[in-house]
């Protein structure tokens, strides 16, 4: 399975290897048993994520990631998964404020969360939140077993 992973670095808070992003996305698609041809991952700063959050969700506060799905996985032909905007600065703040954790693992969680959104997972209703958290936990376990964490 080969997917074109567009990686757009629009932040300087955390150095993230493009190779580790591609391996993470490929692993995610394999674990999730879905096939797409293209996805875009944007790593953005706090100002950009706040602007997107304000524009699309009428909420100017910072957030971890925002996803914009495109094609359905069952669609015929070339399929674009969508765009994910991830804010590593949010991960840095989270890890700092909680006194433990790893910023790369936290940022990996944000990418996984965004990818699940692109597959149609939601986290607004309680039952959807439970399903999202269970899927995240399963995927993070597989990522850990296969050492697919984001890295510098």
Residue 102 lies in a domain: yes
Residue 115 lies in a domain: yes
Q: What is the pLDDT of residues 60-118, one digit of tens each?
A: 999 999 999 999 888 899 999 999 999 999 999 999 999 888 999 999 999 999 999 99
Residue 43 lies in a domain: yes
Q: What is the pLDDT of residues 61-73, one digit of tens each?
A: 999 999 999 998 8
Find the CATH number of the domain harbouring 84. Answer: 3.40.390.30
Residue 70 lies in a domain: yes
Domain that holds residue 26: 4-145
What is the number of structural domains in the chain? 1
pTM for this entry: 0.95
Residue 152 lies in a domain: no
Residue 103 lies in a domain: yes
Tell how strand 65-69 and strand 80-86 pair up: antiparallel
Residue 30 lies in a domain: yes
Residue 48 lies in a domain: yes
Average pLDDT, integer, range 12-27: 97
| Percentage of residues in the chain having pLDDT higher than 70 | 99
Q: In what order do the strands lie in the sheet with 4-10?
A: 4-10, 38-44, 80-86, 65-69
């Amino acid at each position: 399975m080969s997917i074109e992973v567009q990686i757009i670095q629009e932040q300087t808070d955390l150095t993230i290897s493009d190779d580790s992003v591609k391996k993470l996305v490929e692993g995610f698609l394999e674990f999730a048993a879905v096939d797409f041809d293209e996805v875009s991952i944007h790593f953005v700063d706090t100002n950009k994520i706040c602007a997107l959050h304000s524009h699309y969700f009428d909420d100017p506060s910072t957030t971890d990631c925002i996803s914009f799905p495109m094609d359905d996985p069952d669609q015929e032909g070339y399929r674009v998964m969508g765009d994910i905007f991830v804010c590593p600065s949010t991960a840095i703040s989270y890890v700092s404020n909680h006194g433990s954790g790893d910023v790369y693992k936290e940022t990996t969680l944000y990418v996984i969360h965004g990818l699940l959104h692109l597959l149609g997972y939601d986290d607004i209703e309680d039952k959807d939140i439970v399903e999202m958290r269970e899927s995240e936990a399963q995927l993070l376990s597989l990522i850990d077993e296969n050492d697919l964490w984001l890295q510098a």
